[in-house]
Structures are given as C-alpha cells and as structure tokens.
Amino acid sequence: MPSPIPAGAVVYAKDIARLGVFYAAVAGLRVTHAGDDHIVVESASFQLVVHALPADVAASFEIVAPPLRREDAAVKLVFPVPSLGAARALAARHGGELDPAECEWQFQGHRICDGNDPEGNVIQLREDAR
C-alpha cells in the first residue's frame, strides 16, 4: 500500500523542469518523481506537483525575463526557509525573485518576504525570527 500523501498543492507550468528545479532549490524540497507532464517535489510534510499546462494554453502566453508577477491569483504558496537572504540568492539564480530585504516584515515569530517563481506565480517565504 502506498504511503499517505502529505499536504500539498498543484501548480501548472509552461516549463515543468525549470519550476521543479526552482522549488527544489529555493524551498528545500526534493524531486521524488518526474514524468513527461509533471514533476513531484516534496518534503516529509508537503508535496508540490508541477504539472504541464495543456499545449494550447501554454502557447497562448509568453514568460518574460524577469517574469511578470501574477498578483491577481487567489492562492499564494508559502514555504519555510532557513534564511531569507540565502533564498533570495537562490531564487535569482533559478529565474525567480524575492523582494528586497527592506520589504520583509515580521509576523508570528517569522520574518516574511514575498516573491515569485520563474513563471510569475507569487510565493511567500518565511524565516524563523525567534
């Protein structure tokens, strides 16, 4: 019997390989499965499935560099990180972006900063501030 699936999310992407690598590097997840149309990255408590967009949808828009942030989305993925500074450098190295340090704020014992992945999906990273 397969092990239970942890809490998770699905993000649709134009370039699943690039997003898989981004989330593995920035959020500290590991790639546990890769197929033609999806990549699974996860930790012991969270699973993110990066799923390919249908070809007609993917062809209908272009990802620019740097990507335009899609701030009108109804969901924002949140990941804990050991260091916002290190995550900022990793995000930039892998095609995403984390807002500058002066945009960070404190909330419930965490330093928090928003950013985006290489396709413009908004993310939030949280560093333990205690």
Other beta carbons within 10 angstroms of residue 59's beta carbon come to 10
Cα separation, 66 vs 118, in Å, equals 8
User: In the chain, pLDDT over 70 holds for what percent of residues?
Assistant: 98
Res. 1: pLDDT tops 60: no
| CATH code of the region 7-56+64-128 | 3.10.180.10
Cα separation, 51 vs 130, in Å, equals 36
**Mean pLDDT, residues 105-112:** 96
| Whole-number Cα distances in Å, 59 to 16, 27, 96, 100, 101 | 14, 28, 21, 32, 35
The model carries a pTM of 0.91
Structure tokens at 67: 């990507």
Averaged pLDDT score across all residues of the chain: 94
* pLDDT tens-digit readout, 53-63: 999 999 998 99
* pLDDT tens-digit readout, 54-97: 999 999 989 998 899 998 888 999 999 999 999 999 999 999 99
